[in-house]
Amino acid sequence: MDDITGTSIEDMNKGSRESRNGFLKLLAGASAGVALGATASPLIASAATDDPTTIISVALVAEYLAVTFQTNALANAAAIGFRPDEFATIKAVVAEEAIHINYLKAFGAKDLYGAAGSGQLFTFPANTFTSRNGYATTAVILETAFVTAYMAAVRDFAANARADLAQLAYQIGAVEAEHRALSRAIGGFVPYSDLAFETSLVSNVAGAATVLTNLGFLGNTTTNPVALPFTTAAQTQALSYAKILTQQTPGGSRRPY
């Protein structure tokens, strides 16, 4: 598999196969603070405080983004080329992200960006929902960013003696890692599971917010022209798929919602 030297998601989408090095180059560059998007820069400033409530609130933004992304992938399943088993799997994935939203809110997460009715948009590359490679490339990049964000969150929660939130973060982060492998499988990025250890790309949650901003996912229609809102209808629809899931609570606890 050839190395990828492109510096944007659009560049990476042009190839038939993407390497691990290519994804990491893109994400590492995005975490460096270059090309900072003005639309979501208040989110980065807020995340820099790294208090427990802010950390899970930034995670909530990521989950809003995930539900928006996967909901629209399902709506464009034919164009992407999902097989029936893949379609069923993405329904499970979006249900998991919706459940994450409910639990983050139950633990006190506040809306920082992208809440339903806010008018703030999530933005994606042009071919994200029109080709299999476009979907899979974007999915792997997003899931890699989500995993590294939750890894940073676990460290911060541990430093704040919040074992309850650390458990929530590592249980969600583990599922996001499964999503990354599934995305690689859909894209045909062999091997589908390619890590002995997950990659730590940022030192704190503010770094993860910077990654999502610099990659253009938070309202940057110049970089990513497909603009979509998170909606309550999408959340409700996603939760309707939850019956196909087994573990629906962190640590086996009762649902607080």
pLDDT one-digit tens code per residue, 132-150: 999 999 999 999 999 999 9
In a domain, 7, yes or no: no
The CATH number that applies at residue 184 is: 1.20.1260
In a domain, 236, yes or no: yes
In a domain, 14, yes or no: no
* pTM, 2 dp: 0.86
In a domain, 4, yes or no: no
In a domain, 36, yes or no: yes
Range with lowest mean pLDDT among 8-17, 90-99, 166-175: 8-17
Range with lowest mean pLDDT among 26-30, 44-48, 119-123, 224-228: 44-48
In a domain, 68, yes or no: yes
Residue range 52-75: mean pLDDT, rounded: 96
Structural domain total, the chain: 1
pLDDT the model gives residue 39: 47
In a domain, 1, yes or no: no
| Residue range of the domain that includes 149 | 22-245
pLDDT the model gives residue 7: 43
Range with lowest mean pLDDT among 101-115, 178-192, 198-212: 198-212
Residue positions counted in the chain: 257
In a domain, 255, yes or no: no
Cα gap 23→5, rounded to integer Å: 9
